[in-house]
């Protein structure tokens, strides 16, 4: 068979007894029905309907195809109906991958609130230090923070986020305030290992001036909470997302270094496998996140 339309054509002929009536039901011309029936028989190399008699008479093979095919058509239509329901309703499983720190601090609560609002949606939240590398194909949404490198995934903006270079007041008292990015190369720094990136090459801009510095890492971890803790204890300089260090900066545990220099933004984005045809639960969750972080994300609220 070519596709489900062939079975539906054959069933329409059987239910209407004539090609003309079947054509009317299907919205086709009688000649189109005849041509499709002939093509079907040619592909199968079987005679399905004896058209030499005064009335249409199905062969044994034609009857078998109708009997078994009716069940297949009913199952297919039920499946398409279920898919349509899922596409237009909040149901099904939503699989999300997100970084450890952001996932714990912001996404876990957001996912739980979304599930409470839409109880027919099942949430599977997986946290990883390599959300862009580790089995991205298994997820409906991958939450990514920072520059989106070459990828087949489609990015959807969720919230603004910057990166800051920070150190503790104690560290600054011992080592002094760096006046330029180049001075970072001689100071102990702490690296966050994620997404297989070159985490020791730090980029800065000021107006039209740009500077890239390879820092010296005395400590490194794949957990953002750990490197922030090390930094607050005066063990080194970190470059970290605004969402992660905003509270420590407000409370004086950390001090921002080189405020006149801008680092690469690290906006929060949601990644999907395609732009069109996303289930309603996926589209609504991204809308839910944007509304939750708008107009000002929670890590910037205290600035107002």
* Residue 125 CA, distance from chain mean position: 12
Domain spanning 4-88, CATH architecture: Orthogonal Bundle (1.10)
Q: Which two tokens stand for residue 44?
A: 């199968």
- Quote the CA–CA distance of 213 and 202 in Å, as a whole number: 5
Q: What is the pLDDT of residues 245-283, one digit of tens each?
A: 999 999 999 999 999 999 999 999 999 988 888 888 999
Q: What is the pLDDT of residues 172-225, one digit of tens each?
A: 999 999 999 999 999 999 999 876 778 899 999 999 999 999 999 989 998 999
* Residue 76 CA, distance from chain mean position: 28
- Quote the CA–CA distance of 199 and 191 in Å, as a whole number: 6
Give the pTM: 0.70
pLDDT of 303 > 60? The answer is no
* Residue 130 CA, distance from chain mean position: 14
Residue-by-residue DSSP string for 212-256 = EEEPEEEEEES-HHHHHHHHHTTS-BEEEEHHHHHHHHHTTSSEE
pLDDT of 72 > 80? The answer is yes
Domain spanning 163-263, CATH architecture: 3-Layer(aba) Sandwich (3.40)
Domain positions in the chain: 4-88, 92-161+267-303, 163-263
Identical fold, 92-161+267-303 and 163-263: yes
CATH class entry, domain 92-161+267-303: alpha beta
**Mean pLDDT to the nearest integer, 146-165:** 88
């Amino acid at each position: 068979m070519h596709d489900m339309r062939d079975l539906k054509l054959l069933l329409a002929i059987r239910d209407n007894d004539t090609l003309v009536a079947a054509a009317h039901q299907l919205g086709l011309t009688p000649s189109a029905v005849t041509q499709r029936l002939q093509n079907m028989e040619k592909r199968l190399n079987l005679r399905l309907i004896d058209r030499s008699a005064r009335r249409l008479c199905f062969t044994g093979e034609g009857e078998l195809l109708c009997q078994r095919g009716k069940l297949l058509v009913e199952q297919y239509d039920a499946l398409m109906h279920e898919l349509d329901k899922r596409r237009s309703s909040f149901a099904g499983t939503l699989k999300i991958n997100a970084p450890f720190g952001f996932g714990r601090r912001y996404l876990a609560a957001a996912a739980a609130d979304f599930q409470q609002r839409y109880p027919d949606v099942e949430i599977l939240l997986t946290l990883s230090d390599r959300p862009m590398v580790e089995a991205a194909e298994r997820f409906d949404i991958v939450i990514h923070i920072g520059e989106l490198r070459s990828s087949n995934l489609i990015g959807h903006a969720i919230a603004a986020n910057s990166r800051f270079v920070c150190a503790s007041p104690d560290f600054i008292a011992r080592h002094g305030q760096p006046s330029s990015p180049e001075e970072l190369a001689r100071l102990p720094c702490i690296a966050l290992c994620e997404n297989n990136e070159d985490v020791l090459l730090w980029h800065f801009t000021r107006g039209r001036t740009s500077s890239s510095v390879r820092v010296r890492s005395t400590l490194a971890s794949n957990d953002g909470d750990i490197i922030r803790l090390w930094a607050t204890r005066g063990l080194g300089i970190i470059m970290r997302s605004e969402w992660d260090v905003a509270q420590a900066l407000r409370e004086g545990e950390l001090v921002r270094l080189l405020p006149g220099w801008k680092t690469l933004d690290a906006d929060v984005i949601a990644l999907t496998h395609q732009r069109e045809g996303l289930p309603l639960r996926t589209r609504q969750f991204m809308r839910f996140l944007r509304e939750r972080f708008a107009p000002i994300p929670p890590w910037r609220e205290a600035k107002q």
